[in-house]
A = this chain, B = another copy of it.
Amino acid sequence: MKGEKTKQRVLEAASDLFWSRSFHSVSVADVAAAASVNKATLYQYFDSKEALGRAVVIDARRRTIDFVFEGAWAQADEPLDRLKAIYERVYGSQQAAYDCSGEARGCPFVNIAMEMAIENKSVRDEVRQTQEAFGAYYARILRALAPGPLPRDAEERAVAALVRNMNGAMVAARIEQRPEALLEAAETAVFIAQSAVASAAAPTSPAP
């Protein structure tokens, strides 16, 4: 019981630090200090730094799905409103981090994946699954938006485009230190979704 709380503290500290800086430039000592925990204690909950990294990804995925996607669903009913809500919610957390620490941090998943994609397949796969989980929500939006059923590959292509669009926005936010990039990308997202549905209805024009 008590241990669970400690573990959570470590997880939060690690999430925060890995997100802000990077996996490799944060030391286990940094995490332990931020969590007010002894390093040895940390190792009782996580087998290695790598395992901690993986756990962070998994935990962030859960929280992101809850807050961003489920939140968007709860907040709006129309598919495009939900899409916009997703971006607004992401924008909100970028802005919150920016206000609190002066940093637009971008995407925790993209960040760690760009860093570890080659050296650590397990983290990369965890991020890949995360993105697929997000994609499932985009697919639901597309289906709700379409008058009839979308062709399988048209949907897949549109989902992939939406995932890429979010990631591109997150990259921009971090490089330019501008949370607003999320809001700007929201328009592109709406556009991608609309066009995918439209071009499925009239399959003569190319899908995005």
Please list the residues of chain A having a beta carbon within 8 angstroms of any beta carbon in chain B: 20-25, 103, 105-106, 110-111, 113-119, 124, 127-128, 131, 157, 160-161, 163-169, 171-172, 174-177, 181, 184-185, 187-188, 190-192, 195, 206-208
Copies in the assembly, this chain = 4
Main secondary structure of the interface of A (DSSP, over half): helix
Please measure, in the bound complex, the distance between the C-alpha atom of A144 and the C-alpha atom of B167, giving whole angstroms: 28
Q: How distant is A144 from chain B, measured CB to nearest CB, in Å?
A: 20
A172–B181 touching, CB < 8 Å: no
A164:B163 contact, CB within 8 angstroms? no
Q: CA separation between A131 and B22, bound complex, in Å?
A: 21
Bound Cα distance A105, B115 (Å) = 10
Q: Is the CB of B118 within 8 A of A105?
A: yes
